[in-house]
Chain A
């Protein structure tokens, strides 16, 4: 009984679960509100029982000074992408980039470097843009534009990792800020454009033979190919996700138990319903269950799920099955943060060491509790303020000038380039469309 009280206490004291619930309590029925504490406490207690039964909880070791003197010889690469949210009527100027931060603390020279692995500056409404094949649709919604941006960012990030593998980089670790495998469902909508030949050529040089086939340049196919390539990478590659809005781990864990006959179908289904009703997520539950420095061993999860209305019956339906499964685990890195989700395409050989590395690097970012290298590359990948402002201004005036001159939207052309750059600095490069 004492565990229950303990858990209730924990929920009330500082969990995001409680905060989240209180926020949504306005809409919940009085009964749901009344039962929240009891139900969630009981859920947490049950899940704790199951993870213990499955022997999933591990205690990680971290001693600041020792940790770093052991790991200073390790080369780590951190990858993140950024999108400039510029929006101007009648044009969609965009700057997307993916960057890498590579560091080997004990290196004599060049202990660290940043790299702009992928950069696009251009206008997605420009028929000649070099990222997506142009589809003329006067009624395109913002949603589609956002999907295009997201798609481009996800592909850029994947392409960055692919590039590191391709160039045979000797990393001990590679971390991506975000899921290692994103859900592709949103990109299966009809009318989602294919990437240009030029873009594919620059991002995935090894896929040269496929570039003639239009379907092969669709996001889903390109991404699948990239993921398969990443799966073959020689160094451990992890995606780190700060908070989960759903409960994939808990659901899958219980599903496995159900499959093994350890839980009845009825109990399982009820449990899934309850989780939905009370808006309980992995983050919420695990925050209560795990204490600082503890982790949950990964379980294998299917990211792309069949049976969604959008994909049903479409040509993408079968593709979903081809996507690699993802190993998902959690680490609670600090007292004050929800556990972070660790995703990988392979089951690690040195799981504990890897997790301890993630824990150690996260301790340097106590307020966020995820590897500090990702915070570093995040800042780097974010389109700098001045850049966004400047590009906005210049695209606006430039486009206007062009439009007036030609009296024809379609002749607007910006000198945009996708650069698969190595050493050139972002700042030293002229802004697309300005310098002639």
Chain B
């Protein structure tokens, strides 16, 4: 396949070799961890011939050691304050031993460059070569064999090697993106979204922090042919959502006794609602329950009016909470006055307003507590999924992007498993392949995610991760993450991630391309120092300060005379 005559030799294969890996001693500074290297070898063909091949591998560890430096010498050097360079101790004998994970081989005479699994170990003492960037890239792309490759960044060890991932697997086989705060998850997601927008693939983003509002700001400039819609949630319910409503009231309101719960259930049965805002419904329930209580209604068996009042008060509290959340969300929206927010369409009746070809829908969830947010998402996804399941599909396949996923799909051990979104997402993700409802899960805390859902993700993109439990959870739930690569996790810099699974050929450390244009300019970075520097007290504060000293003086004097 590729011509390898001009590839530089960078080392020599050592001792024992295996089918899946070999070690080599590296010349100083000639390659890095994560680099792709090759060595010429021979393998027996199925016809019994011996054919020359190029074996490709990835440097998974590099160890440097000065085997010749006796550690005990350090003692004398320190005690006597001796400079090692004055002594006969060796100072320049660092030896670099690299472990190479074998990726496969290509036949030298073949035109195609699909990596085949190695069936015969490489030769000890063979030369290890450094293939040119173009050749590595060519190999990766032809091996990926993707009908829709999308560009996401470059090989961490080698900027010149562009990395592409397979969009088909991305949208159907689910992806998880993990990493600690600030490690580059959102930047990565925006990169993918950018590419998918260019392909007109419908997407729905659950945005808690407003990380994706940059798409709206740049719509005219960058995506003139796409629709980008910004929704704010409305907790819109209909009679079918009774269970969710019950859970919401139960969890948001006061703790209820069994008879009180019975009353609430019967109330939900009795008070019919033809659909619409949950808040309105709760208010209605509150009003009705008061009425029943004051009438001393007997239509509820064994329930005393006092219990009814309790439920009424609880409903009042729920209504207040819902109102508050709506208010908070509203205030945040108001801050971004340049952006046009619209109320989330009813997914049951107008799904096409949310999912349509070339459209990106952003659901801005800021201000909502976990439970209501979960309910909103559950109802939304449940309905959209239903439309995909139906024979006359009303909406095209789409990709759902779930930021801060631990809020929606917490692990059982978090004791939040009655969050309605868990069940829904579990269903959507399991059947996603069939119905084109791909999901992208983003979280800082993979160890806190629902195990079933997380392990349904066939591809992973992992960024810096320091927490041991999260590292373990990540490893446990991925079949494809390279063990040696995963050791690198705590040391990755911003935007450096390890991609593994079906969207790539093999586990690859990648530097993600940073699309600065897609940052939400209204939020920007949290730069509190600058904020303080430009701080001007509000009018009210200024007014108060006018008299503050006077009042303070008075109370001082008062205190003095008291003595």
Contact = CB atoms under 8 A, between A and B. Distances in A.
Interface in A400-430: 427-430
Contact of A68 (B15, B72, B83, B90): B83
A415 to B, nearest CB: 13
Interface string A107-151: 000011010000000000000000000000000000000000000
Contacts of A106: 86
Contacts of B73: 364-365, 372
B16 A389 contact: yes
A251 to B, nearest CB: 34
B93 interface: yes
Chain B contact residues: helix, strand, loop or mixed: loop
A111 B90 CA distance: 9
Given A111-B92, A367-B72, A427-B125, A393 B16 contact: yes
Contacts of B80: 63-65
B88 A373 contact: yes
B67 interface: yes
A154 to B, nearest CB: 24
A76 interface: yes
A435 interface: yes
Contacts of A384: 15
Contacts of B300: none
Contact of B88 (A103, A387, A427, A431): A103
Contacts of A63: 80
A376 B72 contact: no
B77 to A, nearest CB: 7
A12 to B, nearest CB: 27
Contact-residue size bin, chain A (C-beta under 8 Å from the other chain) = 35 or more
- Measured as residues with beta carbon below 8 angstroms from the partner, the interface class of chain B is 20 to 34
Contacts of A387: 15
Contacts of A434: 123-125
B78 to A, nearest CB: 10
B89 A427 contact: no
A101 B76 CA distance: 21
Nearest to A364: B73
B86 A390 contact: no
Interface string A218-241: 000000000000000000000000
A398 to B, nearest CB: 12
A372 B16 CA distance: 31
A313 B23 CA distance: 56
A372 B92 contact: no
A366 interface: yes
B516 interface: no
Given A386-B14, A389-B15, A376 B90 contact: yes
A276 interface: no
A69 interface: yes
A103 B86 contact: no
**Listed residue (A114, A372, A429, A431) with the most chain B CB atoms within 10 angstroms of its CB:** A372
Contacts of A76: 88
A427 B87 contact: no
Contacts of A101: 68, 90
Contact of A379 (B68, B76, B79): B68
Contacts of B524: none
B16 A64 contact: no
A179 interface: no
B35 to A, nearest CB: 20
Given A64-B76, A103-B88, A372-B73, 4 more contacts: A111-B92, A376-B89, A384-B15, A389-B16
23 contacts: A64-B76, A64-B81, A65-B81, A72-B87, A111-B85, A111-B91, A112-B88, A112-B93, A364-B77, A364-B89, A365-B73, A372-B88, A372-B89, A375-B70, A376-B88, A385-B15, A386-B16, A386-B23, A390-B14, A427-B12, A428-B125, A429-B125, A435-B125
Interface of B: 12, 14-16, 23, 25, 67-68, 70, 72-73, 75-77, 79-83, 85-93, 123-125
